[in-house]
Amino acid sequence: MTDSSVAAMPGARSKRKAWPAELNALIGLIVIMILFEIIGWIVVDQSFLMNKLRLSIMITQVAVVGILAVGVTQVIISGGIDLSGGSIIGATAMIAMSFAQVGTNARAIFHAQGWVDLPIIIPIMVGLSVALICGLINGLLIAYVKLPPFIATLGMMVSARGVALWYTKGQPISFPTESFMAIGDGLMPVWIFIAIAALFTLILKFTVYGRHTYAIGSNEASARMSGINVERHLMQVYVIAALLAGLAGLVLVARAQTAQAVFGTMNELDAIAMAVIGGVSLSGGRGSILGTALGMLIFGVIFSGFIFLSVDAYYQNMVKGAIIVGAVALDQWRQKRQAREV
Amino acid sequence: MKKLVIGAGAAALISSGAQAADKKIGATLSSLEFTFIAVMAKGMTDHAAKLPGVKLQLEDAKNDVANQLSQVQNFIASGVDAIIVNAVDTSATQAMTDAAAKAKIPLVYVNRQPINVDTLPDNQAFVASNEVDSGTLETKEICRILKDKGKGKGANVVVLVGELSNQAAVQRTKDVHDVIATPDCNFMKVVEEQTGGWKRDAGQDIVTNWISKGVKFDAIIANNDDMALGAINALKKAGISTKDIPVGGVDATQEALKAMQDGDLAVTVFQDAAGQGSGSIDTALKIAGGAKVDKKVYIPFRLVTPANIKDYLAKN
């Protein structure tokens, strides 16, 4: 990991003003939007973009994964990877929902104990606690036991899904309270995403936490030599990633008004893809939340665009895969070119 | 004389007890992640617990074909009396059929129809509900409701399809088109069709996208209840009354029944998951006991509407 990030370093520090990776994503987003707009007029005879409802659903349908992607982005910038997000969503969703059920539902998980119609803060705290535990385990295994992040979070991916399944033996949990549903109602997921994205943009840009995250991702050895407590910092990075996954899980159940053990499956890969499309380098040290947000929008636009054109979902996945690979290929090519210019 | 009778009786008791204790059943289920499979699993364990001497070993194949095959091979190696398989991949069942047939152990497929269903050996069977019924019952009821609403001259419907790789999704969607092809219901027209992968949020997102496009539709037919409930959410958010747009699903989940009581869901179809589970055990025991059974044992689907919902409230 460190070798490749050392190689990437001179590129990032190129004397000429570098072409920011986010710009690629922005151009990609605009090109895709214009394509759908033009095809829309030809095939459907209406505007793709001049439609308030469509614009809002484009963002709403990807906001939950977007929240997860913010956490994943800072992990990738720190030179690691987090595969456990989707499963943490599942585990958080199930356990939190069991504390958010209405009392009129006689089958509520904790009906006998009387833990129903609880104030919204309880399921939120329970959910975030579940995520916190997952994050602490990830962090411990990576920072102190020195497991590669891929392996540690792969283990968590499998185990957290196991927890989600074990909790009710696969049965869904339903009938949440009105106040809990409000977290996922209407544009709420979008507002939460924007708040989180803005917060972490500031944190990564202007705080010590942010600088250390980039430093460790660029070159862990030199970060250590310059006095950064790498272990403690990585611990924080993975805990924050897990907490954001937990938050995504809470928003998802509130939106779906039901919790199922499969929730979040494959979301970790979508989140990583969003970051990568947005120019976050898998070798660490480079990238931004803005890039990831653009990657997220590309996903949302494609999803809506294909439904708009009544295209089968089969093609949607094929195109998604091609975009991910294309974005990384472009990024690699740019890195090489910049490295030559130094 | 008396002693002898008692002795014989005791011997009979012991031998029947020993025989019953011998009945070990190994079951491998595609994935306990799915609600339906979980209800089915519960139906199996509950039923097995009621049968004296029947021991059920339940395994989760975690949606992995290779996993499932090795679970079946392990069952064979440990000498079970019968095997129950809820196939991960319905087109990859031949290997399991061959393995069980070679070991002369009865095998029962449950819920998901194996591709080799018509060539199963004598000691193998398939227990399920006839998948053709569910989509057909649902679509016919939507057709009837639309006619009642005076839309028998022409009506647009949209279809939410389950996971594309799943046979039930394919069949239920085909049923929709088959019913619409009949003279009785050919006033209906499918104007949009998308996959929501069985998921509620996806159902909501897709219908919202359709509404944003200005798609005019008179009814929504979903392959399962969760997507139907998502569709209802989308309608409500857009200020469209579910009184005007009947929404149909399949599964009769608790929430679907609640939505029906609230007047939001027009129709759902009850697939007896627990009944399929217990039915698979009964069939497996019958074959293991040497009895002949039909190749396909059907547990009926039932239409659930506001008129008969009371009968189903406590079932799933």
- Number of Cβ within 10 Å of residue A329's Cβ equals 10
CB nearest to A54's CB, from B164, B193, B209: B209
Nearest neighbour of B213 by CB, restricted to A44, A175, A303: A44
Three-state DSSP at B56 gives strand
Range with the poorest average pLDDT among A292-296, A334-338, B92-96: A334-338
| Disruptive mutation site among A46, A167, A310, A318 for chain B (greatest number of B CBs within 10 Å) | A310
Q: Which residues in B lie closer than 8 A to residue A40 (C-beta atoms)?
A: none
Nearest beta carbon to residue A258 from set B195, B200, B210: B200
Q: Say what the pLDDT of residue B277 is.
A: 95
Cβ-nearest to A61 among B39, B197, B205: B205
Cβ(B312)–Cβ(B252) below 8 Å: yes
Identify which has the larger pLDDT, B32 or A274: A274
Task: Establish if B313 touches chain A: CB-CB under 8 angstroms.
Answer: no
Task: Look at the block and give the residue holding tokens 């990576």.
Answer: A142
Cα separation, B235 vs B238, in Å, equals 5
Q: What's B140-209 look like in SS3?
A: HHHHHHHHHCCCCCCEEEEEEECCCCCHHHHHHHHHHHHHHHCCCCCCEEEEEEEECCCCHHHHHHHHHH
Q: For residue B270, what are its two tokens?
A: 């009850």
CA distance A320 to A269: 12
User: pLDDT digits over B86-96, tens only?
Assistant: 999 988 899 99
Report the pLDDT value the prediction gives residue B316, as an integer from 0 to 100.
55
Return the bridge partners of B115, or none: none
Specify whether the CB–CB gap between B85 and B116 falls below 8 A: no
Low-confidence ranges of chain B (pLDDT < 50): 1-20
CB pairs under 8 A between A and B: 88
| Model confidence pLDDT, tens digit, residues A92-151 | 999 999 999 998 888 888 988 989 999 999 999 999 999 999 999 999 999 999 999 999
Is the CB of B199 inside 8 Å of chain A's CB atoms?
Answer: yes
Tell me whether 0.85 is exceeded by the ipTM.
no
pLDDT for A314: 77
Spatial separation of the C-alpha atoms in residues A330 and A296, rounded to whole Å: 18
CA distances for B241 relative to A64, A311, B217, B222, B234, angstroms? 27, 27, 13, 17, 10
pLDDT surpasses 50 at A338: yes
Q: Which residue's entry shows tokens 């469209």?
A: B240
Tens-digit pLDDT profile for residues B197-215 = 899 999 999 999 999 999 9
CB distance from B200 to chain A under 8 Å?
A: yes
**How far is it, in rounded angstroms, from Cα A311 to Cα B164?**
14
Cα three-residue angle A261-A267-A270, rounded to 5 degrees: 165
Per DSSP, the residues of A144-204 read IS---HHHHHHHHHHHHHHHHHHHHTT--EE-B-HHHHGGGSTTHHHHHHHHHHHHHHHHH
Contact between B248 and B222 (Cβ < 8 Å): yes
Chain A: residues touching B (Cβ < 8 Å): 44, 46, 51, 53-54, 57, 60-61, 64, 107, 165, 169-172, 174-175, 186, 252, 255-258, 260-262, 303-304, 307-308, 310, 312-314
- State residue A205 phi and psi, 5-degree precision: -80, -40
Nearest alpha-carbon partner for B110 in B173, B26, B21, B22: B26
